[in-house]
Chain A
Amino acid sequence: MNTQNLVTNPVIVLREEFDDWVLVFNPDTNEIFSLNPVGAFILKCLDGKTSVEEIIKRLEETCDNIPVDATDYVSDFIKELLKYGLVTYKEN
């Protein structure tokens, strides 16, 4: 999956409440999502420059036991973020 054209939706609010869990609030839709520390880490990596491979490399630097098929998991998770409007395509 090409993530180098994806950025966090500029309208959303990230609330780092405690234990590295994050509440993601979309004031336009009034939806609130709760992300675990890995989900929050991935969301924060989406800056329009970072690839899935780079995200996994960064995860490996901080987490143990990254599964061999992590690319699929991360890509599926990013598709979910896109589906719920938490990330958006970067404007050129």
Chain B
Amino acid sequence: MKLIKTPQEIEILITSKCNLFCKYCSNFDNFKNIEDDLSTSEWLEFFSKLSDCAVMRVTLSGGEPLLRGDLKELIQGIIKNKMRFSILTNGSLITEDIAKFLALTNRCDYVQISIDGVNKNMHDSMRGEGSFQKAIEGINILKKYNVSFTIRVTVHKGNFLYLEEIASFLFKKLNVKSFSINSASYLGLCKINSNFVCLNPTEYSIAIKSLLKLDKIYPNRIKALAGPLADAKRWIFMHKAYLENKAPTGGYLIGCKGIFRKLAVRADGVIIPCVQLSHINLGKINKDSLKDIWNNHPKLNEMRERKNISLNNFSYCRDCIYINYCTGNCPAIAYTMLGDINKPSPEGCLKRFLEEGGNFPDEYIRC
């Protein structure tokens, strides 16, 4: 695979501060030892450097990006430097003023708001008192000003039995066109709270069954890059490929393609490969050359070479019937679970899922 000359996209953790304390915050580890956010001028200088690299899109997340009092100024800096942007937010701080501003920029790809339930009990249990109502109010304000938004649902122990109700609520009551779904992964605060947040294989199987059914009822309206629906689709593909003895599509650590297209920046200005790999320090904004980091940083090049590591190197994988169709999954979760990005991640492993009692509906695996 040829490497493009500069990254196309950058995700920026624009602040380490948040007004909520979600029990499965995957970004929580990114804010250790960060006391102060960078100043407006430091970010604006960085945006001009992104323009020099012809970066097209910036995602602003955090923390809660709407806590930054200078958010409008930062967005104007993004626009001035010929980029588009999106915002990942809990939705609780959206005001008429900011929605109107976002609409007028004409450069906002979307605002992503987290909704994890159909009522405050289901949502607030993991995200904090009052957060559901405020998020719904935020969505209504975005709708009023015609700002493009998406919903992210995180599946956890408190909502996996209610996925059909959640889909119905989002599609029929909130009238959203689509939503994306993932599940609480072994990252950030979830590492501490995993026992009452993360699904066990039996619960994961129930979530898979519900989501595959919903995916038939609402075709192409539930998006998933990770979590039960994404795993289910990948696993069904792997199982069918195995049964039909298809040509290999995996067998190496190829589970992440992000580092061939984008980078991320922590709230303290440290450039990192991905928000989930915040411990890998590639350099500092406005000090180190982004182009040089992208093309030459040894850590980044090492990560890109993961694609040459065969799953046959790992004893657990060697006798797996799915090895030729497996990608080794997310390197960040491999790191948090095993301390090494150059190993396959146990999360997302079909063999392990089945051995631990997981299953998916027969109708989806018949050939």
Contacts and interface: CB of A to CB of B under 8 A. Distances in A.
A13 B5 contact: no
B202 interface: no
A64 interface: no
A30 B8 contact: no
A16 interface: yes
A17 B84 contact: no
A30 B83 contact: no
B6 interface: yes
Contacts of A11: 82
Contacts of B5: 15-18
B158 to A, nearest CB: 37
Contacts of A12: 82
Interface in B257-308: none
Interface in B4-19: 4-6, 8
A87 to B, nearest CB: 16
Contact of A27 (B2, B4, B8, B84): B84
B8 A15 contact: yes
Main secondary structure of the interface of A (DSSP, over half): loop
B56 interface: yes
A27 B54 contact: no
Contacts of A30: 84, 109
B82 A18 contact: no
Interface centre among B4, B82, B109 (most CB of A within 10 A): B82
A18 B106 contact: no
A41 interface: no
Interface of B: 2-6, 8, 51, 54, 56, 79, 82-84, 106-107, 109
Of all A-B residue pairs in the complex, the 9 with the closest CB atoms, nearest first, are A17-B4, A15-B54, A18-B2, A25-B56, A27-B84, A13-B54, A13-B82, A27-B82, A27-B107
20 contacts: A11-B82, A13-B51, A13-B54, A15-B4, A15-B5, A15-B6, A17-B4, A17-B5, A19-B2, A25-B54, A25-B56, A27-B56, A27-B79, A27-B82, A27-B84, A28-B106, A28-B107, A30-B84, A30-B109, A32-B56
